[in-house]
Amino acid sequence: MLVASGAAFGLLAAGLLGSPSHAADDTVEGLRAARAARAGDCAEALDLLAGLTSPGAELRLVQGRCEIKLRRFPEAVETLRGVLATDPGLPGAQLALAVALFHTGDLDGARAALARSNPPEADAAEAELYRGLLLLADADSGPAAAALERARLLDPRMDLTASYYAGLAWAGASERARAEQALRRVVEMAPGSDWAVEAQRALDELEGERNWWLWAKGGLEYDDNVLLRSQGTPVAFSGSHDIRGAFEVHGGAELLRKDDWSVGAALDYYGLVHADLDEFDQHVPLVGVWVDRRLAERTTARLRYDLGYSWVGGDPFQFAQAWTLTLFQDFGDRGRSRVYARPYLDDYLFSKDQDVPDGPGMAFAPCLSLRDLVCAPPGIDEREQRNRDGWGLMLGAEHDLPVPALRTEFTAGYRFDRFDAEGGEFSYFGHDLLIESRTRLPWDLHLRIQGRFVYRPYDQGSSFPDPSLVFLNREYPLEDRRRRDHVIAALIELEKRWTPRVSTSIQYRWVDQDSSVKVFRYDREILGVYVTVRL
């Protein structure tokens, strides 16, 4: 069992020497108890405090902290609850209670006390240490490792303890290089100690540990607009809602590691199987390989190549390739950043649109042939204009910022996207803004809220007419202005983690695409329930 850090005991006790506001605290025994606690002699401090008839809240806080140091955790809980009943706002008391509750096994109580705490700057490292330990107990490895790393940076005296548990957390987050670095630091700092023995054992296990991962998610979704029915679509096509099964599998392995280099491969699969509209069933396998290079302790570069193929309704739909260069930077308690550049190629495999017969050149005039159901303004080759094949370039940046007081991590990002299609009608510049929050709630519930705004100005107008202006054997009109799309999307997900490997979730997604071309204007709502298994 980990012993709580005593770094803050002397600092709190030292503050008593200049606090004569309580007469009972100014007794000789009280001052001697404070000095003993500051010197680390908690047994003597407790003996002295036991002789006081009415110690103030600050001295009873010293008593509670000393009971923690002497591993008398149930007694410490009782003492500290009494302190808070007397002085709920006493700095450091809630944190001390969180530490005591943690060591009695009351993790929910410890989380609640830590959330209420507002520790002084001198206790910030201890707060981060126990925040990390609580996250680690919940198998929330990435945030746990980040909190533990912050603890050791805030107070070097905690480096040994924080580094050991950070190593375990990094290992749980599949950050093998960081795990090895943290555990080796423990071995080097305290050779021959119990900490070093345990750290070496963890290193040995890490060496023999599998270097692959696999997780799967599946469930049922209700989609109210499978067809992406646009505003103005004829009523005959209005039945586009359906229930479907949704599945995704993600697996990968590190194939090679040497010094600051590593090489790996991944295989992903996404699938949708509809109850009624099976012509919209989707199957999307993706294969990726990457090379990582650690540039500094907190900086990593990654080059990744992805290859994907998709089917819709059993027919080939798209072949895609992408190359992504990403730079990862860890700023400690200020969060983590990613900047990336991604050139990509899209090749659409479905049958291209047919050329629409030319009309006489006057809107709503009869077509040149009675056999033409509709006709378009002359001079437009729809088959060529609507060719979606092309290349693109994405440039983006994202930053994750943890806010421990809110038990929340925020993400904000921006992405620029240039796509150059062979048919100029689908060439555009895109701007994508993202904001997301991930909050840990009581009872192992996790709430994720995401919002996006996308703006895509296209290079030219569209050859698609307004459906409400299409009449039998008549030339339909087209707008001269360039196409503009505005997309607003939101996601809300609530996940319950039953074990570190199994969770269930419910998710709601909403998309509203407003376009200057009516046929591309639609809204969509999806409600799903899922089970996730991590191996």
- Same domain, residue pair 38 and 127: yes
Q: Which domain-ending residue is among 181, 208, 235? A: 208
The residue behind tokens 């126990």 is 130
Query: Per-residue pLDDT tens for 469-486?
Result: 999 999 999 988 899 999
Q: Is 255 left (phi over 0), alpha (psi -120 to 50) or beta?
A: alpha
Choose among 349, 289, 347: nearest CA to 321. Answer: 347
Q: Mapping DSSP to helix (H, G, I), strand (E, B) and coil, where does residue 221 land?
A: strand
Q: How confident is the model over 240-263, as a mean pLDDT?
A: 90
Res. 381: pLDDT tops 60: yes
- The CB density around residue 508, as the number of other CB atoms within 10 Å, is 13
Does the residue 1 lie in any domain? no
Query: Per-residue pLDDT tens for 194-239?
Result: 788 888 888 877 766 667 888 999 999 999 998 887 654 443 344 5
- Same domain, residue pair 148 and 273: no
Calpha distance 17→522 (Å, rounded)? 70
Question: Taking a C-beta distance cutoff of 8 angstroms, is the pair 490, 391 a contact?
Answer: no
CA dihedral 254, 256, 260, 266 (to 10 degrees): -30
Counted domains in the chain: 2
Q: Which domain-ending residue is among 208, 240, 263? A: 208
* Runs of H (alpha helix) within 176-329: 176-189, 194-208
User: What's the one-letter identity of residue 439?
Assistant: T
Give the bridge partners for 399, in sequence order.
Answer: 337, 412
Instruction: Give the pLDDT of residue 205.
Output: 77
Q: What is the mean pLDDT of the chain?
A: 86
Question: Which one has a higher pLDDT value, 231 or 432?
Answer: 432
- Same domain, residue pair 232 and 296: yes
Query: Per-residue pLDDT tens for 399-424?
Result: 998 887 787 889 999 999 999 999 88
Exposure letters 481-506 (e unless 16+ CB within 10 A, then b): eebebebebebebebebeeeeebebe
**Confidence class for position 4, pLDDT limits 50, 70, 90:** very low
Give the residue numbers spanning the domain of 514.
212-534
Res. 307: pLDDT tops 50: yes
- Same domain, residue pair 235 and 144: no
Residues shown for the chain: 535
- With a CB cutoff of 8 Å and minimum separation 6, the contacts of 296 are none
Instruction: Give the pLDDT of residue 427.
Output: 94
User: What's the one-letter identity of residue 177?
Assistant: A
